[in-house]
Amino acid sequence: QVQLVESGGGSVQAGGSLRLSCAASTYTYSRYCMGWFRQAPGKEREGVATIDSVGSTSYADSVKGRFTISRDNAKNTLYLQMHSLKPEDTAMYYCAALGTGSWCYGSHTLHEYNYWGQGTQVTVSS
């Protein structure tokens, strides 16, 4: 069982920046694919960015060039650096982990992730 705890959310004005963190409770963290997902009120949860065990990343078109996903395997921590935030980025942001029993490679859909955090709220005002 993997526990994920997000932090770093908050309220910011449009154009501002935030950095989200996600601490994972597993000694095999480096083998996991990790991702950030978000859900706005009345909308379905959507993918924001993912990173696999060798550091390959993928981004939603809506955040490319503004958000950066990274991981620190020594600290079992996932990050999402967000710049140039827009009101449409307002959502609950969730960290997720995908364990395959071995090393995880590539990008995966939301439904493949088997561990989820409780979420951290990001609110961007215009």
In tens, the pLDDT along 63-106 reads: 999 999 999 999 999 999 999 999 999 999 999 999 988 999 99
Cα dihedral sign for 58, 63, 64, 66?
negative
What is the greatest pairwise CA distance in the chain? 44
Nearest of 8, 22, 33 to residue 85 by alpha carbon = 8
Say how far apart CA 110 and CA 48 lie, in whole Å: 10
What lies within 8 Å, CB to CB, of 77 at 6+ separation is 21, 22, 23, 24, 71
Q: What integer pLDDT is reported at residue 101 of this predicted model? A: 83
Q: What integer pLDDT is reported at residue 45 of this predicted model? A: 97
Q: What integer pLDDT is reported at residue 1 of this predicted model? A: 86
Residue with tokens 């997720």: 96
